[in-house]
Amino acid sequence: MNKKWAMIVTVLLCIMVFVSACSEGNTAKPEPTNESIEPGIEQATPSPTPVVPAYFALLTGKAMEEQIDTRPVAVLINNLAPARPQSGLTEADIIWEVLAEGGITRLVAIFQSTPNNEFDLGPVRSNRPYFIEIADSFDAIIAHAGASNDAYAILQRQDKPYLDEISNAGKYYWRSSERKAPHNLYTNLSKLREGASAKGYREQATIQGYSFMTEEEAAAAPIGSAKNLEVQFQLKGYRVGYSFDETNRVYKRSINDEPHIDKNTEEALFGHNLIFMQTEHKVLDKEGRLSVDLQSGGEALVIQNGEMIEGKWSAASDGMIRFVKDGADIKLVPGKSFIHVLPLGKSILEHINIE
């Protein structure tokens, strides 16, 4: 009997141990509550890693989805009153404004990064030696209608890449019936690139481009006081004004107190960087044709985000005209730039009225 009871007790103990183990295994663990987090300490949210664009436009510093290495095209644009508003200038990366004979100015529009090739572009006007130098500084194909004798000599003797409506590329231009000649000559980038290809001109860019801030640096930059300014070229009919749009951080351009618009879009021209450079101008003949020194270097002023940066310009070893301060390139705001070539005789700041 004792052995029998001992066996029963042993079996009962085993059953009790088994049931207890199963009960512990099925017991849910308590969920952590906010009470378990130490008061006053917030859980850190990891910051997203900024995406660094793989490609940037050479002449605007803007992020690109793919590398655009097409050779720039420099188009000489008529800036007389009957030629305004011009077409296509909102698509340009850089616009130069330079004196021509008689105190008028001409625009040299540089196109490289725009993917749009079909917009009307013009009115196109004639060439001069220093316009060729500007185009050369970007390794650009130059588009124009006619030229001075000196300019033709340079184009032909130095085997420059050019598309001239009068002498070698007429079929890539057309005349508009909306205006009178000579203010009615137009083209587009599609035609110009077709013409360049037909003539066997190299189609890839070789330039390094300018130095630019990042978009984040530009957006964080303080806004200075140079928000409204006017530059007077030689004639009263060429009072060029810029007004700073703080929302978009761009300078909107005007001529003689009227918005300077693009006929294609009816939008005002604008720039992120306003650059002024000073150099020697000489009158060559009774027609008032000029020579403009684009080699010797001189004073320069860069205005961006309302800030003024006084520096120098130089014809660099890579061919580009660069803007420097203390021996280093001035970093431009990513976007479009206007470059103004001013004569000597007074300082740059005496050419410009800043409010």
Q: pLDDT per position in the chain (355 positions), as tens?
A: 444 444 544 544 444 544 454 444 444 444 444 444 455 555 566 656 556 677 899 999 999 988 889 999 999 999 999 999 999 999 999 999 999 998 999 999 999 999 999 999 999 999 999 999 999 999 999 999 999 999 999 999 999 999 999 999 999 999 999 999 999 999 999 999 999 999 999 999 999 999 999 999 999 999 999 999 999 888 888 999 999 999 999 999 999 999 999 999 999 999 999 999 999 999 988 888 899 999 999 999 999 999 999 999 999 999 999 999 999 999 999 999 999 999 999 999 999 999 8
pLDDT at residue 43 in the model? 58
Phi/psi of residue 163, nearest 5 degrees = -130, 100
Domains of the chain: 55-354 (3.50.90.10)
Grouping H, G, I as helix, E, B as strand and the rest as coil, residue 294 is coil
Structural contact between residues 122 and 77, judged by C-beta atoms closer than 8 angstroms:
yes
End-to-end CA distance of the chain: 117
Question: What is the rounded CA–CA span in Å between residue 139 and residue 321?
Answer: 12
The counts of H helices and E strands in the chain are 6, 23
pLDDT at residue 48 in the model? 63
Please state whether the peptide bond connecting residue 182 to the residue before it is cis, i.e. omega within 30 degrees of 0.
yes
Please state whether the peptide bond connecting residue 85 to the residue before it is cis, i.e. omega within 30 degrees of 0.
yes
Measure Cα distances from 274 to 10, 231, 249 in Å. 98, 11, 12
Grouping H, G, I as helix, E, B as strand and the rest as coil, residue 133 is helix
Q: Which two tokens stand for residue 88?
A: 């296509």
Strand order, beta sheet including 141-144: 162-164, 141-144, 73-77, 105-111, 94-99, 337-343, 273-279, 298-304, 307-315, 321-325, 328-329
pLDDT at residue 287 in the model? 81
Q: Exposure of 352 by Cβ count < 10 A (0-12 exposed, 13-18 middle, 19+ buried)?
A: buried
pLDDT at residue 41 in the model? 53
Q: Residue for token digits 């000196």?
A: 150
Maximum pairwise Cα distance, the chain: 143
